[in-house]
Amino acid sequence: MEGLLFIVFVLLLLVWALSKPINSNQSRSMFKLGQKLRCKVTGFEGIAIVKCEYINGCVQYCLKPPAKDGKMLEGEYVDQQQLEIIDEGISNVITAKETGGIMPDMPKYR
Helix (H, G, I), strand (E, B) or coil at 76: strand
Instruction: Report yes or no on whether pTM surpasses 0.85.
Output: no
Q: Are 33 and 49 in contact (CB under 8 A)?
A: yes
Q: Are 89 and 38 in contact (CB under 8 A)?
A: no
Burial class for 62, CB neighbours closer than 10 Å (0-12, 13-18, 19+)? buried
According to the model, what pLDDT value does residue 98 have?
73
When computed from its CA atoms, the radius of gyration of the chain, rounded to whole angstroms, is 19
Cα separation, 47 vs 51, whole angstroms:
11
pLDDT tens, position by position, 89-107: 888 887 777 776 666 666 6
Higher pLDDT, 5 or 40: 40
According to the model, what pLDDT value does residue 12 have?
74
* Sign of the CA dihedral with 22 first, then 92, 35, and 66 last: positive
Tell me the C-alpha to C-alpha distance, in Å, between residue 82 and each of 11, 15, 39, 58: 33, 27, 5, 12
According to the model, what pLDDT value does residue 25 have?
45
